[in-house]
Amino acid sequence: MEKTIGDDYADNVRLSGDGKKVIIIDQTKLPNIEEYLTLETAEDIYDAIYELKVRGAPAIGICAGYGIYVLARQIHTEDYSDFLQKFREYKEYLDSSRPTAVNLSWALNRMEKVVTGHPQCTVSEILKLLEKECRMIQKEDIKMCRAISEYGLTLISDGDGILTHCNAGPLATSRYGTALGPLFLGKERGMEFRVFADETRPLLQGARLTSYELARGGIDVTLICDNMASLVMKNGWIQACFVGCDRVAANGDAANKIGTSGVAILAKYYGIPFYVLGPGSTVDMACPTGADIRIELRDEQEIKTKFYREPMALPKVKCYNPAFDVTDHSLITAIVTERGICYPPYTENLAEMFRI
Ligand SMILES: CSC[C@@H](O)[C@@H](O)C(=O)COP(=O)(O)O
């Protein structure tokens, strides 16, 4: 089969050959060092997620699925209730690593259902089913990204300028990505886009990951500081904004990397369509509105020192470091999932699309 651009990134999160470890590319080291990490203990997996070594909502879910399987193998009992109790302890621990992306608890709940759905099975039979399920989560993600890419590509034309924020590319998923998926797919089909990547303060996912992925994929990418988005829009260089999401509420409000809502407000002002792209697993129909989404607060050192040779503020200066914000549904032109392109009114149309 012919190799596609997304294949280069297909193994960012995977299970080791013996099934006893999770292997991830360390995203905090990119773009300078391509280093793979082996995760074996509950602490390894928790820390990798918390420290953003693996990040991006779908990739976090995939890592958690593989992670809980690896941990389940370490539960040495033949007793179903003991197994379930220990499994749940691991699940709760991993689930507490990051609160905003729903994919984390979604994947862990899926894995738990395999256990609770088979009380008649032996522990070794349950382990086989768990392995199948976590591999399935990743396979489905690849399929979903492909479908999202196809739908997303219908929204743009050859030669368009696209602005993106944070990283919703192959590193954040399994292949193609969500917001970047249409661009990789278009590239495979001979289309050219001019992408403007917000650097995305404070952790610079746009600079370190998005511009790296796009440049490697041969896509024309220009890195800008977050505060330059307004100018490139005013210049007429942007025909659409494509961003990912960490949780979409039932009314269409969408949580994504801090700064996304500002991009949406600018896009509205300049009359540029603003699209949110993500897998159905990111749509949380149990969450009524954006106000119900828990926003992760992170360490102030990420703002002051993390990527600088010297501190950028006095130690006594206070910082406020929310990792995400919520874009109001009224600013979103459409939400693209593997099920199709959902336009407003979102409360009705998401309910119809996700059949509740
Ligand atoms: C397909 S990834 C979608 C989102 O998870 C992405 O846009 C994002 O905000 C990631 O934030 P991060 O804190 O880097 O995990």
Please provide the CATH number assigned to the domain covering 155-353: 3.40.50.10470
pLDDT at residue 307, rounded to an integer: 84
pLDDT at 246 over 80: yes
- Name the residue of 146, 245, 277 to mutate for ligand 1: max ligand atoms within 8 A of Cβ: 245
pLDDT at 295 over 60: yes
- Name the residue of 9, 30, 173, 205 to mutate for ligand 1: max ligand atoms within 8 A of Cβ: 205
Give whole-number Cα distances, 332 to 5, 178, 245, 273, 327, in Å: 29, 16, 12, 8, 8
Q: pLDDT tens, 69-106? A: 999 999 999 999 999 999 999 999 999 999 999 999 99
Q: How far apart are CA 13 and CA 138, in angstroms?
A: 9
Residue minimizing CA distance to atom 10 of ligand 1:
56
**Band of residue 10 on the pLDDT scale cut at 50, 70, 90:** low
**Band of residue 351 on the pLDDT scale cut at 50, 70, 90:** very high
**Band of residue 1 on the pLDDT scale cut at 50, 70, 90:** very low
Our answer on whether the CB atom of 172 is closer than 6 Å to any ligand 1 atom is yes
292 belongs to the catalytic site = no
Q: Which residue has the tokens 């992670």?
A: 67
Contacts for 295-299: CB closer than 8 Å, 24+ residues apart = 295/99, 295/100, 295/255, 295/322, 295/323, 295/324, 295/325, 295/326, 296/98, 296/99, 296/100, 296/322, 296/323, 296/324, 297/321, 297/322, 297/323, 298/322, 298/323
Q: What is the largest CA-CA distance in the chain?
A: 66
Q: pLDDT tens, 307-322? A: 888 999 999 999 999 9
Q: pLDDT tens, 145-181? A: 999 999 999 999 999 999 999 999 999 998 899 999 9
Determine contact, residues 135/15, Cβ cutoff 8 Å.
Answer: yes
- Classified by CATH at the fold level, domain 5-145 comes out as Four Helix Bundle (Hemerythrin (Met), subunit A) (1.20.120)
Our answer on whether the CB atom of 180 is closer than 6 Å to any ligand 1 atom is no
CA 126 to ligand 1 centroid distance, Å:
32
pLDDT at residue 114, rounded to an integer: 98
Residue 224: CB atoms within 10 Å: 17
Structure tokens at 180: 């970047």
Residue 16 or 8, more confident: 16
Our answer on whether the CB atom of 254 is closer than 6 Å to any ligand 1 atom is no
Question: Rounded mean pLDDT of 251-280?
Answer: 98
Mean confidence (pLDDT) of the chain: 96
pLDDT at 2 over 60: no
Amino acid at position 216, single letter: R
**Band of residue 273 on the pLDDT scale cut at 50, 70, 90:** very high
pLDDT at residue 309, rounded to an integer: 86
Fill in the DSSP letter of residue 353: H
Q: Do domains 5-145 and 155-353 have the same CATH topology?
A: no
Active-site entry in 95, 141, 160, 246: 246
**Band of residue 7 on the pLDDT scale cut at 50, 70, 90:** low
Torsion of CA 111, 117, 122, 128, to 10 degrees: -40
pLDDT at 138 over 50: yes
pLDDT at residue 6, rounded to an integer: 56
The structural domains of the chain, with segments of one domain joined by +, span 5-145, 155-353
Our answer on whether the CB atom of 257 is closer than 6 Å to any ligand 1 atom is yes
Give whole-number Cα distances, 263 to 70, 81, 163, 200, 344, in Å: 39, 49, 9, 11, 19
CA 258 to ligand 1 centroid distance, Å:
10
Give whole-number Cα distances, 312 to 26, 71, 202, 304, in Å: 25, 40, 12, 5
Residue minimizing CA distance to atom 1 of ligand 1:
168
CA 74 to ligand 1 centroid distance, Å:
30
